[in-house]
Structure 1
Amino acid sequence: MQKKARKIPRSVLIGWIFLFPSILMYVVFMIYPLLRTFYLSLTDWSGFGQARHIGLNNFLSIFTDTMFRKALQNTLYFAVVSGILSVIVGIAMAWLNLYIRKMEGQVTRTMLFVPNMIAPTITGLLFMFIFTEDIGLMNNFLRAVGLDGLTTAWLANSETVRPSIVVAQIWRQFGLTMILCFAGFQGIPSELIESAQMDGAGTLKVLTRIMLPLIKPQIELATMFTLLGGLKIYDSVVSLTGGGPARQTVVLPMYIIENAFTYSKFGYASAMCVAFIFVVLVFIILLRIIFRGENYEY
């Protein structure tokens, strides 16, 4: 006796029909380009004609490419430094916002979150006016307070250019951390804080021993966002320095695009993309290891 074919519920069928356009777009614009990148990483292709298979030669060339190492170093520097500082500043701003009255707090949080919605290119142009040597706000401020000796060409000095880019990144990123952590702080029962204060705990001890452990998921999420945002840094560096001075601030996305569209080394650029994907995966795994542990409930 043959088994009766299992009938698919109508609701499931309708769900798949509505999901199909999204799945198709994901396959066309994400899965296929990713697989194509892996394939091209094993070839020598100028963008025209037939791609010539060369095995792992592109990956071997990466290890001897000093500019690739410099670009990767800059990318990791911007990701880690700006990511960590953005989270710290965001947590501090979220905590301070708890002590602002409701109406003023809404205005303050909106103003602090606005930089997160500004395009990175615009952020770079704004900070160019701040760090420009002659008419920049930073040097004019230092001159106004009598600190002329501290003035410098912030974006042309190899010692100050990377910290200057980090400042721009922090200004653009910390708003997201602030919103996430502020929402977490608001979810903490006031009874916990009041009982700790009655036991003699000071403001900072309440913050570090009670409040921060309870918003650990929000801190993890904010760290993930800011770190990945730092790894993708491109637009703000292009608009601020263009990779200068003397290619000291070239980042990996910039170097990949340069090899692909300036030198027509699409195979080599694809190999760098694959290497970059593995770097991102390593960072995600490290974050999961760092933030694993006990969960606090209240």
Structure 2
Amino acid sequence: MSGICYWLLCTPFGCTVKTSIKVTHFIPETVVSVYQDKGKNPWTEMALVSGTSGGVENAISGAQAGLSAGGGESVSKVPGQRSLHTRFKYADAIGHPATSLIGGQIPGYSCNSAATPLLPYFLSTLDTLVWRTGVPELAYPEALIPGKREVGSQDSKNMWGNVYPRSGFITQQDDYKAGAVIAQRVADIITRSGQVHVYQPLVGHRSPGYWPPEPVSENTGTKNHKWQRLSPSLSQSCVVFPDTGGHVAPASALDTDWPRGRRRELCLGLVATLQLLQATWADLPLQH
């Protein structure tokens, strides 16, 4: 419970103001898998889905360059400078299998989820044209202006990577951080409508007493969304990127699963009422 809502209840005999409880909580919506080799989704049950869609990727990449697509990394070293690790990652976003069970489990005290269990919202092998080239997002202001749309920041000396262009390529020495940025890009895509990608939008619709979650945005703390790592080792808590703990041992190819949940707000409604206003506890003045 996070606040209170005021409703206007009208009958043939007049109108009165009623109150109800405001509920705020997180619901797991999707499982975002980030991996290096095509068809090797660490979520074993979903590996067939991503593997099957890989035929589309091969058809497109073959038509472009006569090559069979794949993932991997390259390392270049300039004398006197740090080595540059450029990685390519595949990514899938699948509806969390328990999202419907958790969302709306307690009528009136939990919000419904907009996600459909096990529905593919994003498969990078189907989005191969943009996912591999970054076009047209390479020319977006978010990709050209330093400091704009970054996971972390240069000022804090903890910059993990750029959100734009939202493609599978990333320059990052730490594979854990690389996978996290790719997962952030996928979440950024599917929680918005009208993006230049092949995907299924995951957006809610506002109704009286219900506020669907905002699109995923980086560097917002826990006000917007949270992540929890499932593989290669299960984390016992949720984090936002960049996180300071929970890193796994370094690996040349680290495949990860990240369930993602977004914040929702709901007012316990009244039949045939008009909502006047709502306020969270933080908005209410303190009484002495």
Same fold (TM over 0.5): no
TM-score of the two chains, using structure 1 as the length reference: 0.28
TM-score of the two chains, using structure 2 as the length reference: 0.29
Structure with bigger gyration radius: 1
Higher relative contact order by CA 8 Å / sep ≥ 6: 1 or 2? 1
More strand by share: 2
